[in-house]
């Protein structure tokens, strides 16, 4: 697991950041997470934990990047029937993303990468990214294809020896595996419960809320998740994203 603090923007002093910029660091990775229910066994900050870890790993793989603090909360209105969830309007999230990008641009970062890790944040990221790109000098790279992210998560599960496919991912095998890999103490192993395993209507989830589909807030079977699979998921996503960022930067 990545723990090198040298890739975390917030753990540096301002002179450290200036030195990094002077020495050629030109990319900032910004994950866009959430504070929302993830079943009875995972913490509310699951998407933020994943964002923190992915941003660090991507920055490390690039070698000339820093991971900015993950943005939270996000657009989680469809989880509000579950206590503890905190949601903000899409307009507020987009304003916050814009402010992040404008700040990083002003300091001299030439590329700002947006990495949403919560499904409800993908549409706002895709909406605001082109608008930000028109207003700042930095290149804005939005890695915001939810279907692609879930494919990579399922690929990681298979690499980790878990033959369990999740068509819509939330609090099941993949996300439980990710948290096990990051900090197994955050997983309530005595609270692992199977959730909704049938076909899922994403439009119904968003319009009527998660409770209309799953009473415990889980999609799939979290008992299938393992720490090894979580490590593979994180590495698979970080590797794929780093390659795409490099391609985008080279195309400028």
Please count the other Cβ atoms lying within 10 Å of the Cβ belonging to residue 109. 26
Q: What is the pLDDT of residues 45-84, one digit of tens each?
A: 999 999 999 999 999 999 999 999 999 999 999 999 999 9
The stretch 116-130 carries a mean pLDDT of 97
Q: What is the pTM of this model?
A: 0.95
**How far are the Cα atoms of 74, 75, 76, 170, 180 from residue 206, in angstroms, in the given order?**
14, 11, 9, 13, 27
Measured distance CA(84)–CA(36) in Å, rounded:
7
Measured distance CA(131)–CA(236) in Å, rounded:
30
Angle, alpha carbons 75-76-80 (nearest 5°): 145
Does the structure show a pLDDT above 70 at 221?
A: yes
Residue 85, token pair as written in the block: 């969830």
Q: What is the pLDDT of residues 149-184, one digit of tens each?
A: 999 999 999 999 999 999 999 999 999 999 999 999
Residue 177: its pLDDT value, please? Answer: 98
- State the Cα torsion 175-181-182-186 to the nearest 10°: 70
Task: Check: CB of residue 23 under 8 Å from CB of residue 41.
Answer: no
Could you check whether the bond before residue 13 is cis, i.e. omega within 30 degrees of 0?
no
Does the structure show a pLDDT above 50 at 1?
A: no
């Amino acid at each position: 697991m990545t723990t090198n603090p040298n890739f975390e923007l917030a753990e540096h002093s301002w002179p450290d950041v200036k030195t990094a910029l002077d020495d050629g660091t030109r990319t900032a990775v910004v994950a866009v997470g959430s504070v929302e229910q993830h079943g009875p066994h995972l913490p509310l900050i699951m998407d933020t934990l994943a964002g923190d870890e992915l941003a660090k790993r991507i920055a490390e793989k690039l070698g000339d990047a820093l991971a900015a603090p993950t943005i939270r909360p996000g657009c989680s209105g469809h989880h509000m029937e579950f206590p503890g969830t905190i949601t903000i309007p899409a307009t507020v999230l987009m304003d916050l993303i814009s402010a992040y990008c404008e700040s990083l641009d002003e300091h001299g970062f030439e590329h700002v990468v947006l990495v949403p890790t919560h499904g409800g944040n993908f549409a706002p990221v895709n909406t605001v990214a082109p608008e930000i790109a028109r207003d700042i000098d930095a290149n804005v790279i939005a890695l915001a294809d939810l279907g692609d992210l879930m494919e990579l998560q399922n690929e990681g599960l298979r690499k980790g020896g878990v033959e369990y496919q999740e068509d819509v991912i939330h609090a099941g095998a993949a996300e439980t595996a990710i948290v096990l890999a990051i900090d197994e103490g955050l997983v309530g192993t005595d609270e692992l419960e199977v959730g909704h395993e049938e076909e899922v209507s994403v439009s119904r989830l968003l319009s009527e809320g998660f409770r209309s589909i799953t009473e415990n807030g889980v999609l799939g079977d979290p008992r299938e998740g393992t720490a090894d699979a979580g490590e593979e998921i994180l590495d698979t996503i970080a590797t794929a994203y780093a390659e795409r960022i490099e391609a985008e930067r080279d195309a400028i």
